[in-house]
Structure formats: structure tokens, C-alpha cells
Structure 1
Amino acid sequence: MNKPPVWFYVVATAALLWNLAGCVAFVADLQLRPEDIAKLPDAQQMLYRERPLWAIAATGIAVVGGALGCLGLLLRKRWATGLLIASLLGVLAQDVGLFIMLENLKAANPVAPLLQGAVLLVAIGLVPLAGWAGARGWTR
């Protein structure tokens, strides 16, 4: 097995931190109580009331799959690819849920679509990185 270059570890570590931040945000979101939601602006309250369960599950798959996949990259494990693909599929499903409610999302937080675009770009980039690592013998 070939040793990956330093940049591979830098990218995988940054991506792991990115996905761990997503995990923290996801857990914090799940812990919101009805009285916490009631303190939010009306547009954000509507987003919480109307979001489908499958979109919440997709977010969990996206962040947990991404974090475990990045950990797999750092451990040089080939199974990282499958987890990063699952993460990308979770992001895509999450985006479907978000864009169904896009007008409400923009009203609640105009930066949210931009952040979600960054999430999608990172998830897209990690899949070929994992494949590339496997093709070069950096993962086993």
C-alpha cells in the first residue's frame, strides 16, 4: 500500500472537522424543545413544523456518514468510499426537502441556501477523493 501525501491528510482532517460540526449542529437541532422553537421568528417556526421526517433522517445520514467516511479516509480504509457516497445521497435528499420549502427557508435565513450549497460541494468532492485514494493504493 502506498503512503498518501500530506495534503491528503490535511484535506481529510478538514473534512472530518467540517462533518463533526455538522453532527454537532444536527444533535443541537434534534434537542430543540417546543418552547425553544416558539421563540424563533414565525418563518423559522414554520420550517420546524413542516419539515418531513425523511428530511431529518437524511440530514443524520449526511453528517454521520460524512464524519465516519472522513475518519475512514484518515484510517486509510476503503470502506470510507461507501460512507461518503451515503453521505452525499443524504445531502441530496436533504436538499430536496430544503428546496421544497425554499421560499420559507429564504425568509427564515437568507444565508441558508448558500451554506447548503457549500455542504453539497464538499460532499461531492469527498466521493472522488475517496475513489482516487483507493485507486492509488492509499486505502485498503
Structure 2
Amino acid sequence: MNAVPAWFKVVAVLALLWNVLGCVAFFADLRLSPAELAQLPEAQQALYAARPAWAVAATGLAVFGGVLGCLGLLLRRKWAVVVLALSLLGIVVQDFGLFVLVDGASLAGPVAVVMQAVVLLVGIALLLLARKASARGWLV
């Protein structure tokens, strides 16, 4: 097993925190009461009503897979590559459901589109990092 550079551990910890925040946001989203939903702007209410259940499940796969995959990076385990690939798949499926089928871009606005683009880029970067770490022998 090759020595792991210090930056790798720092990035893995930051990525873990990022994904934990994603889990917090996911649970907050699931716990919205009907009264809280009624207080949202009409466009957001329409987005919540139109999003398919499988897109919500894909969000769960994305955030929980991200947490588990980042833990795998910190533990230096090769399975982190597969788990982060599943997490990225969750992001893509979620985005397809929200932005292609439901047209969430017009309902949620440009900030949501930018945020989801950042989420997608982070997911891609984490998978590439895990693959690089595996190739360099940092993961066992």
C-alpha cells in the first residue's frame, strides 16, 4: 500500500462534511409538513408536487452513498469507488427527474440549477478522486 498524501485526507474529510450536509438537507426536505409546504412560493410547491418518488429516492442514494463513499476514502477501502459511482448515479437520476421530466429549472429558478450543477461536479470529482486513489494504491 502506498503512502497517502495529506491533501487526500483533507479532501476526504471536507467531502464527508459536504455529504453529511446533503443528508441533513435531505431529511429536512422529507420532514416538511403540509403547513410548511403551503408557505413556499407557488413554483416550489408545484415542484414538490410534481417530483417523482423515484427522484426523491435517488436523492437519498446520492447523499447516503456520498457519506458512505467518503468514509470509504477515509478508511482507504477500494469499495469507495463503487459506492461513489452509485452516489453519482443517484445525482444523475435525481437531476433527470427534476430538470428533464419536471422542468424544475423553471420552477426552482437559476439558484437551484447552479446548486445542482455544483452537486453534480462534486460527485464527478469524488468518483475521479476515488479512482485515482485506487490506481495509485492508496485504497485496499
What TM bracket, shorter-length normalisation? over 0.9
State whether structure 2 residue 66 is matched by structure 1 residue 66: yes
Contact 1:51-1:97 at 8 Å conserved across structures: yes
How far is the alpha carbon of 1:128 from its aligned partner? 1.6
Aligned residues: 139
Q: State the Cα deviation string for residues 36-86 of structure 1 (Å, max 9, x = none).
A: 101111111111111100000000000000111001100101111111000
Name the residue aligned to 1:75: 75
State whether structure 2 residue 110 is matched by structure 1 residue 117: no
Distance 1:110 1:137 in 2: 41
Normalised by the length of structure 2, the TM-score is 0.95
Q: State the Cα deviation string for residues 69-106 of structure 1 (Å, max 9, x = none).
A: 0011001011111110000000000110121233x543
Residue type of the alignment partner of 1:25: A
Structural RMSD (CA): 1.1
Distance 1:115 1:16 in 2: 18
Distance 1:47 1:55 in 2: 12
Q: State the Cα deviation string for residues 2-61 of structure 1 (Å, max 9, x = none).
A: 121011011111111111110000000001111110111111111111110000000000
Gaps of 5+ in 2: none
Following TM superposition, where does structure 1 have runs of at least 4 consecutive aligned residues deviating by more than 2 angstroms?
Answer: 104-110
Name the residue aligned to 2:38: 38
Contact 2:12-2:70 at 8 Å conserved across structures: yes
Distance 1:8 1:66 in 2: 16
Distance 2:130 2:79 in 1: 9
Percent identity of paired positions between Structure 1 and Structure 2: 59
Distance 1:11 1:106 in 2: 34
Name the residue aligned to 2:17: 17
Distance 1:111 1:128 in 2: 26
Distance 1:38 1:68 in 2: 34
Normalised by the length of structure 1, the TM-score is 0.95
Name the residue aligned to 1:53: 53
Name the residue aligned to 1:84: 84
Change (3 A) 1:50 1:82: same
